[in-house]
């Protein structure tokens, strides 16, 4: 029912820019936190950036100053503008939506979009 679909991934040169976006559809309301996570081959998934419904952001240290997260609460979309890309940014980027209710926490994930940074 609930689907998160990422788009915008691809291959970019070192120092280049890329923008990934995510659209949430289905029966989901009041998404507390939306964000982006990434997973490189052989590594664990890590947080990249998140934003609460109120606009509070959280960035992984290595992307601060380079990446910018934005969110449209009305449209249930979240985007990540990635600038000054580095090879270590290469990973599958996953969109995440978190709904925190009084009794249960729900996490929804997209299928992921590949971002490859090459020299």
- Is the pLDDT confidence value at 27 over 90? no
- The pLDDT score that the predictor gives to residue 75 is 85
| Total residue length of the chain | 119
The arithmetic mean of pLDDT across residues 63-73, rounded, is 95
Q: Using only C-alpha atoms, what is the Rg of the chain?
A: 14
Three-state DSSP class for residue 87: helix
The arithmetic mean of pLDDT across residues 56-61, rounded, is 98
CA–CA separation, 79 vs 81, rounded Å? 7
The arithmetic mean of pLDDT across residues 48-65, rounded, is 97
Give the mean pLDDT of the chain.
95
Contact partners, residue 42, CB within 8 Å, separation at least 6:
none
């Amino acid at each position: 029912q609930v689907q998160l679909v990422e788009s915008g991934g691809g291959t970019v040169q070192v120092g280049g820019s890329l923008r990934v976006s995510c659209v949430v559809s289905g029966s989901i309301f009041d998404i507390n936190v939306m964000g982006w996570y990434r997973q490189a081959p052989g590594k664990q998934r890590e947080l990249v950036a998140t934003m609460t419904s109120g606009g509070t952001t959280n960035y992984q240290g290595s992307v601060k100053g380079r990446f910018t997260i934005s969110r449209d609460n009305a449209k249930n979309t979240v985007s990540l503008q990635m600038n000054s890309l580095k090879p270590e940014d290469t990973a599958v980027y996953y969109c995440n939506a978190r709904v925190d209710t009084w009794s249960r926490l729900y996490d929804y994930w997209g299928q992921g979009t590949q971002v490859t940074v090459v020299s």
